[in-house]
């Protein structure tokens, strides 16, 4: 019986040693050619390392790329310490980091020097779940979920090779878009990270703008320039007003079709015209550049048929 007990203890010790290895403080490591060594050893280190005085670079990089856009906290402010496993001098296996409250804030796994499998990120101040991500060979692959600090699920999407395929995708600035079969499909809202308001809002069908869209701030002018250089090119009159603040436009499978309205920063209508597959059509109104008086024109098949092009 004693002999059997001794054998069990030896086997258990061997298994534990193979799984966990030695445990070190990060200050006990030396680094050479990208490999970690215990002070004084000539063989690369295998075991667990506690990072208490400074965070490991891979945890900082992971937090910056995936957690900071949602938590709005830098890794140095959110995390207080990490433990990391090494095999033959390289990070291999689980990485665990605590938040400022002492609760788990970050867990991910490294395989062959890349993030692999499920990663979990919690809000550092509350411990509530913030993100559940899935990786394959270092890129997003599989189901990705994000929750707001109030517990609302704001993203639930499937990715393949780092690209969204299906579901609702959230951007760190508050933008939300939807994907189906790898294409943008459904309602979309983009936010201006500087002005803290909606920048573009509308919907996509099979990856293209469709229906009514509203664009403001920098997007207003950008989309307006895209419209006036589209095919067919609208035959705009002389001195047309190009400096718009916001734009309301209608689209058909990625092409501007229907009413297009431009507004200044005060919300005043500065032009109103209609586009068809031939160009400008019907009544046209604008306030020309350098003028405060509106002019009204009539177009047919992208040609001016009534009114004066110059004010």
Q: In the chain, which ranges are continuous DSSP H helix?
A: 2-20, 57-62, 68-71, 75-78, 218-228
| Rounded percentage of the chain residues whose pLDDT exceeds 70 | 92
- Rounded-to-integer distance, Cα 24 and Cα 49, Å: 5
Task: Say if residue 303's pLDDT is above 80.
Answer: yes
Q: Tell me if residue 194 falls in helix, strand or coil.
A: coil
Q: Which residue has the higher pLDDT, 290 or 155?
A: 155
CB 66 within 8 A of CB 119: yes
Question: pLDDT of 176-228, one tens digit each?
Answer: 999 999 999 999 999 987 766 789 999 999 999 999 999 998 899 899 999 99
What pairing do the DSSP bridges indicate for beta strands 47-51 and 22-25? parallel
Read off the pLDDT band of 307 (50, 70, 90): confident
Question: pLDDT of 68-118, one tens digit each?
Answer: 999 999 999 999 999 999 999 999 999 999 999 899 999 999 999 999 999
Task: Say if residue 8's pLDDT is above 50.
Answer: no
- Rounded-to-integer distance, Cα 240 and Cα 229, Å: 14
Specify the DSSP class assigned to residue 234. P
CB 283 within 8 A of CB 267: no
Whole-prediction pTM value?
0.84
CB 185 within 8 A of CB 204: yes
Q: Enumerate long-range contacts of 116-125, CB under 8 Å, 24 or more apart.
A: 119/62, 119/66, 121/63, 121/66, 121/67, 121/70, 121/71, 123/71, 123/99, 123/149, 124/71, 124/73, 124/77, 124/78, 124/79, 124/99, 124/100, 125/99, 125/100, 125/101
Domain limits, the chain: 211-311
Instruction: Specify the range with the lowest mean pLDDT, choosing from 19-33, 62-76, 286-300.
Output: 19-33
Task: Say if residue 10's pLDDT is above 90.
Answer: no
Compute the mean pLDDT over every residue in the chain, rounded to the nearest whole number. 91
CB 170 within 8 A of CB 193: no
Q: Name the token pair of 10.
A: 């030896």
Task: Say if residue 157's pLDDT is above 70.
Answer: yes
Task: Say if residue 9's pLDDT is above 50.
Answer: no
Task: Give the per-residue pLDDT at 218.
Answer: 80
């Amino acid at each position: 019986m004693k002999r059997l007990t001794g054998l069990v203890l030896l086997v258990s010790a061997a298994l534990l040693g193979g799984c966990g290895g030695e445990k070190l403080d990060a200050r006990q490591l030396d680094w050479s050619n990208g490999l970690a060594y215990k002070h004084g050893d000539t063989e690369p280190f295998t075991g667990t390392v506690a990072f208490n005085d400074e965070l490991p670079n891979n945890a900082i990089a992971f937090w910056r790329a995936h957690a900071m856009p949602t938590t709005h906290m830098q890794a140095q402010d959110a995390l207080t310490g990490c433990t990391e496993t090494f095999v033959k001098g390289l990070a291999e296996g689980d990485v665990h980091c605590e938040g400022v409250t002492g609760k788990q804030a970050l867990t991910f796994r490294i395989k062959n020097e890349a993030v692999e499998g499920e990663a979990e990120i919690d809000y550092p101040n509350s411990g509530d779940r913030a993100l559940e991500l899935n990786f394959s060979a270092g890129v997003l692959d599989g189901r990705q979920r994000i929750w707001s600090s109030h517990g609302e699920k704001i993203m639930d999407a499937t990715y393949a090779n780092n690209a969204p395929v299906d579901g609702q995708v959230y951007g760190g600035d508050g933008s939300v878009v939807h994907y189906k079969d790898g294409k943008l499909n459904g309602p979309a809202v983009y936010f201006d990270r500087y002005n803290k308001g909606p920048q573009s809002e509308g919907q996509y069908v099979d990856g293209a703008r469709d229906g009514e869209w509203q664009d403001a701030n920098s997007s207003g002018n950008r989309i307006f320039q895209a419209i006036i250089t589209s095919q067919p090119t609208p035959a705009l009159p002389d001195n047309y007003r190009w400096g718009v603040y916001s734009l309301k436009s209608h689209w058909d499978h990625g092409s501007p079709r229907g009413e297009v309205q431009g507004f200044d920063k005060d919300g005043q209508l500065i032009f109103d015209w209609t586009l068809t597959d031939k160009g400008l059509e019907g009544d046209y109104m604008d306030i020309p550049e350098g003028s405060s008086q509106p002019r009204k024109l009539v177009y047919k098949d992208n040609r001016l048929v009534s009114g004066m092009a110059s004010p």
